[in-house]
Amino acid sequence: MDVDKNGALAVNEGRDVAPLINSLLSLPFVAKIATQDWHPADHISFASNHADKQPFVDFATVVNPDNASESYSTRLWPVHCVQNTTGAELIPELEADKVETVIKKGTDPRVEMYSAFYDPFEAPRVSDSGLAGVLKEKGVTHVYVVGLAFDYCVKCTAMDAAKEGFTTYVVEEGTRAVDAPKWEECKAELQQKGVVVVSADGPEVAKLKG
């Protein structure tokens, strides 16, 4: 809820993607999985948890709690999608009864986790949702990614899906970006990582309809 137009971390036209996502959920996918930001109140991505930092404009350095030599910079956000609050709920327009599994992510206050798979750390990884194992166990070969936001959670999830060996698509009409002017830049970054950005009217979606 917090990423819709009235939420704490509003994405412009965010709710407009729901009808397309619902239509995709009606197709015969082997697995239908939703993700849910599920942050503790002391999450590292909240600007309010850092002295003299502002959401959207400031960044913080995140250090691997198990390996001080590994770190990355992350953008800071308003408080959003806090566990067990309305803001963390899936939007009511989503036909959630068609979803088989909900992956809760961003639950560790020490690390940012845009991807539905795992956090950016590798040596060692700190948070892993187990999604890769679930998909492989079900025999999934192709992954279609939609939702919010294109330039953060969708992008990172799609890149990690490709890294895990899945043929990965982002359905362009099924997502919106936080920074809309960077749309083409984000598409290029995805394509460099082996992710194909496709149209809802394209052959990649049409083949699912039989």
Q: DSSP H helical segments within the chain, as ranges? A: 18-25, 131-137, 155-163, 183-192, 203-206
Mean pLDDT of the chain: 96
Whether 48 shows a pLDDT value over 90: the answer reads yes
Q: Report which DSSP code applies to 76.
A: -
- The pLDDT tens digits for 57-85 are 999 999 999 999 999 999 999 999 999 99
Degrees (nearest 5) of the Cα angle 195, 96, 10? 65
Largest interatomic CA distance in the chain: 55
- The pLDDT tens digits for 154-184 are 999 999 999 999 999 999 999 999 999 999 9
| pLDDT band at 210; cut points 50, 70, 90 | confident
Q: What mean pLDDT is predicted for residues 80-101?
A: 96
Place of tokens 């166990």: 137
- Which pLDDT belongs to residue 6? 65
Could you give the count of Cα atoms lying within 13 Å of 20 in the half-sphere of its Cβ? 19
Structure tokens at 181: 């002017």
| DSSP helix/strand/coil, 147 | strand
What structural domains does the chain harbor?
A: 17-207 (3.40.50.850)
- Which pLDDT belongs to residue 5? 62
Whether 89 shows a pLDDT value over 70: the answer reads yes
- Which pLDDT belongs to residue 4? 62
Q: Do 17 and 93 form a contact (C-beta atoms < 8 A)? A: no
- The pLDDT tens digits for 101-143 are 999 999 999 999 999 999 999 999 999 999 999 999 999 999 9
- Which pLDDT belongs to residue 138? 97
**Of all residues in the chain, what percent carry a pLDDT higher than 90?**
93
